[in-house]
Amino acid sequence: NAGVTQTPKFQVLKTGQSMTLQCAQDMNHNSMYWYRQDPGMGLRLIYYSASEGTTDKGEVPNGYNVSRLNKREFSLRLESAAPSQTSVYFCASENRANYGYTFGSGTRLTVV
């Protein structure tokens, strides 16, 4: 099925551990995005990539790094996880035909 695939779906980390959240899309979209969503709140943009080889900061980039490995894949890395990074992380890609976003199903991350 065409769409945005995120892995893992769930993860528990200890404070200070590192991990990479993976995102891949098979729709040949140029732009990709990482958002986080905390309980009862809307989505906040962490980083985005307008095209392969480019990345830019969003609203809440501190504590994260990203890599646009190729056109399909856009990963989000937490170098030293903190409890404040407990959240649900969503990856999205943009359909250039209507500039609508397709979102993945999310990664639920808990940092203890």
Instruction: Compute the least distance from the CB of residue 60 to other proteins, in Å.
Output: 12
Q: Which of 11, 30, 67, 86 contacts other proteins by CB under 8 A? A: 30
| Minimum CB distance to other proteins smaller for 4 or for 76 | 4
* Residue given tokens 């996880």 in the structure block: 81
Site for other proteins, residues 91 to 110, rule: CB under 8 A = 92, 94-96, 98-106
Q: Is the four-CA dihedral 101, 64, 7, 10 of positive or negative sign?
A: negative
- Please count the residues of this chain forming the interface with other proteins, following the rule CB under 8 A: 29
Q: What is the DSSP string of 22-51?
A: EEEE-S--S-EEEEEE-TTS-EEEEEEESS
Judged by CB under 8 A, does residue 64 bind other proteins?
A: no
